[in-house]
């Protein structure tokens, strides 16, 4: 348990920031799932439009350092490759 006023405040701030980061991480996972679902449905044009929306979400979360930029690039690359592989 935090003993000083400064430590108590930092604990409050850390908890609030952790919840915010968790929300953003959840938003990221949802965006990726939407693209995967569109790919599974088999509609290439719909998958591409959903992918474009999710790319901005992934990039903004990477910019906020919730995930590493290389991880964001990896997700985008794999989703893009899956869309291109659709017949």
Residue ranges and CATH numbers for the domains of the chain are 5-84 (1.20.58.110)
| pTM, entire model | 0.85
Cα 32 from Cα 10, distance rounded (Å):
33
Give the pLDDT mean for 2-29. Answer: 96
pLDDT tens digits, 26-49? 999 999 999 999 999 999 999 999
Residue by residue, DSSP assigns the chain as: ---SHHHHHHHHHHHHHHHHHHHHHHHHHHHHHHHHHHHHHT-HHHHHHHHHHHHHHHHHHHHTTSS-HHHHHHHHHHHHHHHHT--
- pLDDT category at 16 given cuts 50, 70, 90 is very high
Residue 61 to residue 21: CA distance in whole angstroms:
9
pLDDT, the chain, mean? 96
Retrieve residue 32's tokens: 């990726």
């Amino acid at each position: 348990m935090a003993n000083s006023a400064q430590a108590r405040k930092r604990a409050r701030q850390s908890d609030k920031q952790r919840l915010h980061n968790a929300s953003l991480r959840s938003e990221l996972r949802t965006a990726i799932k939407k693209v995967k679902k569109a790919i599974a449905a088999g509609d290439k044009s719909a998958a591409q439009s959903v992918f474009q929306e999710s790319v901005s979400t992934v990039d903004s979360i990477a910019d906020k350092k919730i995930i590493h930029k290389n991880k964001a690039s990896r997700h985008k690359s794999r989703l893009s490759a899956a869309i291109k592989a659709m017949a």
